[in-house]
């Protein structure tokens, strides 16, 4: 018999409550990140000079903020009566971190106001402290929307559980080289990123879910956006 860690007990209660009380739907999509990867790699030296390592995650965080601005119902929570939606005017994103004691979701605040280097440094720092068990309770609170990125590990897709009272969560799986059909009838190699958006169907309709992931996919695919 092995007792669960304190973190697993706490997160387990929260995950179970969300699982049984939120009617979940997961919308799958994908983004062609060939251009984004080229851009990310071109910044590697500059990033190193800034003392950070750039991963696709920070670009995804910025794209999520654009999508939340375009679809404000996703940047919201249901109040305790379940009858009112509280719309947020700020963009605080929870980022799931895998720690030796279990899952933690620290919150990166004001993602809209931060650049990619600042975000990279903050995610690395907060993930490090999460792994060392050094996060303050307030750093786990106040998120508007969460991202669970398992892309660094592997897997083709997964269905994340909404971090209620938030109404949606984005799961990111591992990008893979695939043939991409071109309008001239040929195929070219492209790096394709799988996305999975789980949402609370009491708040978000299926069409909205598909519009959100489509918008997100387009934003990630075209780095100029």
**So which residues are the catalytic ones?**
201
Task: Mark the segment that binds ligand CAO (CB under 6 A) among 17-25, 78-86, 145-153, 201-209.
Answer: 145-153
Q: Is position 118 an interface residue for ligand CAO (rule: CB under 6 A)?
A: no
- Binding track, positions 26-65, relative to ligand CAO; x by CB under 6 A: -----------------------------xxx--------
Q: Of 65, 162, 172, 195, which lies in the binding site for ligand CAO, with binding defined by CB under 6 A?
A: 172
**What is the C-alpha separation between 128 and 122, in angstroms, rounded?**
10
- CB distance 141 to 163 below 8 Å: no
* Shortest spacing between CB 195 and ligand CAO, in angstroms: 9
Chain positions 147 to 166 lying near ligand CAO, rule: CB under 6 A, are 148-152, 160
Q: Of 107, 127, 162, 167, which lies in the binding site for ligand CAO, with binding defined by CB under 6 A?
A: 127
Number of residues in the chain: 225
Q: Is position 217 an interface residue for ligand CAO (rule: CB under 6 A)?
A: no
Q: Is position 22 an interface residue for ligand CAO (rule: CB under 6 A)?
A: no
Angle, helices 56-70/116-131, rounded to nearest 10 degrees: 110
For residue 10, with 0-12 CB atoms within 10 Å meaning exposed, 13-18 middle and 19 or more buried, which class applies? middle
Q: Which residues bind ligand CAO (CB under 6 A)?
A: 55-57, 95-98, 103, 123, 127, 148-152, 160, 172, 174-175, 193
């Amino acid at each position: 018999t092995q007792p669960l860690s304190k973190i697993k007990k706490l997160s387990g209660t929260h995950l179970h409550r969300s699982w049984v009380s939120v009617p979940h739907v997961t919308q799958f999509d994908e983004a062609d990140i060939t251009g984004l990867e080229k851009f990310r790699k071109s910044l590697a030296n500059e990033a190193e000079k800034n003392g950070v390592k750039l991963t696709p995650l920070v670009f995804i965080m910025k794209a999520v903020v654009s999508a939340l601005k375009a679809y404000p119902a996703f940047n919201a929570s249901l109040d305790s009566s379940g009858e009112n939606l509280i719309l947020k005017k700020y963009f605080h994103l929870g980022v799931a971190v895998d720690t030796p004691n279990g899952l933690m979701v620290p919150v990166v605040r004001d993602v809209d106001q931060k650049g990619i280097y600042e975000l990279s440094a903050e995610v690395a720092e907060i993930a490090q402290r999460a792994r060392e068990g050094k996060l303050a309770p307030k750093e786990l609170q106040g998120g508007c929307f969460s991202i669970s990125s398992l892309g660094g590990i592997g897997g083709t897709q997964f269905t994340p559980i909404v971090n209620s009272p938030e109404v949606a969560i984005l799961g990111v799986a591992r990008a893979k080289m695939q043939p991409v059909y071109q309008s001239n009838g040929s195929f070219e190699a492209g790096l394709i990123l799988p996305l999975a958006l789980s949402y609370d169907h009491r708040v978000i309709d299926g069409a909205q879910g598909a519009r959100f992931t489509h918008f997100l996919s387009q934003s990630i695919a075209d780095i100029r956006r």
